[in-house]
Structure formats: C-alpha cells, structure tokens
Structure 1
Amino acid sequence: MTRPANRPAARSSGPRGTGSGTGRASADRLARLLNLVPYLLARPGIEIAEAAGDLGVTERQLREDLELLWVCGLPGYGPGDLIDMAFDGDRVTITYDAGIDRPLRLTPDEALALVVALRMLAETPGVANREAVERALAKIESAAGDLVAAPVEVRIPADGRRVEQLSAAVERGRALRITYYTAARDETTERTIDPLRMLMVAGRAYVEAWCRRAEAVRLFRADRIDAVTELDEPAVVPPQARPYDLTEGVFRPSADLPLITLRVGRGERWITEYYPCEHVGAGDGDQWLVSLRVTDLGWARRFVLGLGPDVTVVAPAELAEQVRGAAVAALEAYATPDDATSADPAVPALRR
C-alpha cells in the first residue's frame, strides 16, 4: 500500500484498540469511525476536545481514531484514495471523505429485525425496564416509517403460561415448590425455591432462585418445570446469595468440572461449535481430538451414546467404561427376546 510520507502509520492502541480489544469493543469502534467522518464534515475546524466530548470518548481515543482514519479509504489505498484531513493546532478538518459522507444507517432488514426483537422483548413476562424497551421501540418504528407498517406477529415461547406463573410469583415475592427435570442427571426432583428474578437467555426463560435443597443459587429452565405450586410464605433469600453472571452464557466451564476427551469423526465435528471446548486438535486421518468440561460423567455418558459410532472416548477411563457398559447392556437387551416373542415360534430370536 502506498502511503504519503506525512501520514502517520496506524499503531496499536492497547486494550482499547481493534487489534487487542474484545469483539464488542471492535464493533463499537467501527460504528464510531463510520459516524466520525460525517460528524467532522459538518463541523470543519472543530476542536478535538469538543469533538471528544460530543462523541463520548477521551481526547486520546479520538486522536487514535483519527490516526486510523489516515489509512482508511477506497480500494487502491494510495494518494487520492484514503481519507484525508488537515490539522491546525488542536483543530481538525476533513479534506477528503472517500465517500463516507453520511452517518451510519440501519438497512431495512436490520431495522425490521430490531423492531421484531424489541416487540418480543416487550411482550416477555418478567422483563425489567419495560418502559425503556418501549421507548426504544417507538424511536426505531418512527425512524423506519412505512417499513414497519405491515403487521408483525410476535409470539412468546410455548412455555409462556408457565413463565407468566413464575413471573407472578417473583413479583409477589412468594416461595415455590417445583417438580423439576434435571437433564444433566436425567432425573426429576421436587424442590422448594425462593425466586430472585426471571431471565431470558438465548431465547429460553429461566427463574433464578435460592434452592433450599442445594443451599445455593440455581437457574431453573421454565420448560423443564413439570409442576409449580405457589406457597403461602414469602421468599426468603439468604444474604450470601449472589445472582449468576450470564455474560458468557448459562453453562460456565470451570476447572473443578470433569474434563473429557473425545476422538470425533467428520460427521460429529459440529459439537465443537455447539459446546464450549477447551481444546480442539488434529487426530489420526480426518479425526479430531476434542476436550471439554461437563457437569458430570452421567451426562457425558448419555451425550456420547447419543453421538453414535463416529465418536470414541479417549479419557477419562471411567467414562469409557461407562459408555462400553451401557452399549453392551443395550446390545444384550436386543439380543434377548422377551417372554411374548419367545413363546411364539413364528417370531425369530434376535441375535447379537
């Protein structure tokens, strides 16, 4: 790329820069850069301090953004292609905008998707700050104009009635007795819980509560609650109870959970995208070695059995033995005819 001698090279800006920051920080910076050029075009000669205040960033961050703009522009990336600007002391003026002369706007598809998502959020029971959601929805609908004039139907999940029941109990501050299916252990238990709040995570509704049985805060999926009874007693949450940090999802792998290693074929590589993995490496041929944390080995056994013959347990040995034992038991069940079929000579016995 050709760069005029008087243009400073873009440098890494540490944790705040696009090179070493998080994906969210990078997305925020990209949006700011796309709006920065039209902002400066409308205010030639503006002081950097004033611009930084308007944009809600520090002067240092704004200067780093301007340095990055030096190397942005049209294909060719030589003189006359890149965004250009002039500095007069602490004032800056855009002299060539490379076509970025309008603020960032949502596309019709993006605007409609956002409207639908906000409408669904507004109709979800237990959502806090509903007024803020409705204000944001009104602004976007107004800006989108005729695009959102057509009726859009928003439905809450099939467990909506259960969610409404749980939300009402949370609002009334009542303890609950629930019958709950735990998928990790493949068991159904009865528990008494003291609800803290309702949550929506990845499209699923949860009630976060103090579980008196576990003596800890737990998340209960609404669609796995088979029965719920509101008790005639207030919810009492101990002072040591702390809400879950769900910024990285519901399941949070930790070093104290069992680590399993699987050898997977091409047809089962999808698990590396669906489950959080600690390591994915090459194995023999087209096989991969995949390591991931699991809640317990009972869940892992059912998980591996459900994947089929294209997956082999490498470690731990205990899990490999459990999978082998379950597979042998299943084969033996198929190999042994039941009383009804064995009594009928017309029905041949199944063989291994």
Structure 2
Amino acid sequence: MQTTLDISTHHLPQVTHARNPGMGLDLDWVASVHANTSAIERRAATIGARRSVKKDFQAAWLLKAISLIDLTTLSGDDTAGRVKRLCAKARQPVRADMLQALGLPGLKVGAVCVYHDMVATAVEALEGSGIPVAAVSTGFPAGLSPLHLRMQEIGESVRAGAREIDIVISRRHVLTQNWQALYDEMREMRAACGDAHVKAILATGELGTLRNVARASLICMMAGADFIKTSTGKESVNATLPVTLTMVRAIRDYEDRTGIKVGYKPAGGIAKAKDALTYMALMKEELGQPWLQPDLFRFGASSLLGDIERQLEHHLTGHYSASNRHAMG
C-alpha cells in the first residue's frame, strides 16, 4: 500500500507560519469567555461515534499519528540507557519491513520528551535525525519551586540542546482568578525559552471547571505560548475530549482575533490507536488540516506508539501480534 504523507516539515522550529508573539493582557476578553459544559460534553461524545476510517485510510491516518507523537519518558527511574533506547525507537518507530511495505521508510516521531537531566543524552542519541528534544521544565509536574529556579531550569535545558520546553503553569493563579499573575509568569517563561518553542501545560484536571480551562488557555496564548497542552500526565485526570474541545476552540478564537496559529498537545491517558484517530478527527473538524501537522499538533504519549504499530501489522498481515513484538526499546 502506498500512502501520501509529507515528512519534510515534521519538526519544529515551525516553518509554515510565524511563532506566537503574544499580545497585551485583555481582561475584557478573558471575562467574556464562558464554557457550556453540557453542550461541550454532548459535542465531544459525538466525535468517536460518528467518525470512522477503515482499511487503507485508517493505516494512512495511523502513520500520520506516528509523526505527531512526542515520544516520552518521565519516570523517576529513567536512565541513560532507557533514554537511548527510546531515541532509537524515535528514529525507527515501526519495524523497517513494515514501513517499507507501507511506502514510508523515512517516518519519524514528532519529538522525544524527557526530564532536563536527560536532555544532553537525548540530543546526542538523536544527532543527525532532525528529531527535536523537548524538556519538561519549571518544577515539573507541580510547578511550585521558586520562580527564579524555574527560569534557570528553562535556561539550562535550552543550553543543553532542548528545542522545545514544556512548562507547567501555577494552577493557583487560575483557581484564584489572578490572571495578571498567570500572564506575567507565562510571559517571563516565554522570554526565558528564547528560540526554543514553549508548550504551556495547564494541568486541566486540577483547574476545576471548563471555564477555567478556557480562560487559562487564552491567557497563555496572550502571553506567547506556541502550544497549549492539557496535562503533565501525573494528574488523576489527564487529556479528555471535553477539555480538548474547550482548548481548541480557544485556539480558534485566538486565531480569529490575532491571525496567529497556536498548537495543541493532549497528554496523558492516550494509549490506543483508536483514541488517536478520535483526537485527530476532532482537530480536523474544529481547526482544519493545518492542525494535523507536527508543528501544530502533538500527542504526549509513550504506549500509544506500540498499539499503533500492532494495528499497522494487522493491516498488513491480517493478524494481531503480541505487544512485546513492538516494545519501546
């Protein structure tokens, strides 16, 4: 089967549109933002039920999904060896014979995401691949270390070679409606990232309401976030379809008002190929084709890749294989 997938512009820095420069804090706009929870939940429930792709079309969408994955390891027992194995998987995300049969021998993931301490190891392991390294920073996952230390952490990750920085916001600013503090903090973090692209993690499972999610999304974009991201993956509730719908509509509103495209990254709990297809369908319907490219959409995941690889093998052979045939390393 031959599929059409442009892999020439997979990775950041963005080449098809300008970075988000941010704007002044507009509290009137923020105050006008509301979220109809019941309507959002009804709309979100229709995505997976009404949208289905099969056979060659499904295989093509799954191959696209691989190019959108931030292949991630964020465990307390991470070692250099584990990170190197993950980077090898990033370079060759699917068995070579399968990619050859599918017509995409050069396919890679979107990025590799690690703790700061593993940035240099990942950069070395990915040298020459074109795959960027993303570092979680700013006191990940709680984001409660002193502000000056969080800024230093960003700087050290950038100097170590990280081209993307996943920062975490202070949830207390959202819960207390201190929008000025959230804006100022995000603006300072954006400046500290320099040329590295910044993904703002909202930790949506800890923000209380979808209205808070919508307003926090808008504030982070006003302050210059290149991406907004759902979760650290460490909360009890991570990415969900209602949260995704809320955040992507904030992205759409921001583009309508400013002309600037901002990326989106759901993270945590997306482990099945069918879930990836549902999220991609939502992005296409709500934001359009540009948000099915790695410069505007990423999955924060690890086990997702293994399930996609199993589905692709089933597409080629008619048989499902054991998960251990598609290990991360």
User: Under a length normalisation based on structure 1, what TM-score does the superposition of the two structures give?
Assistant: 0.21
Name the structure with the higher strand share.
Answer: 1
Higher CA-based Rg: 1
Q: Choose between structure 1 and 2 for higher RCO, CA contacts under 8 A separated by at least 6 residues.
A: 2
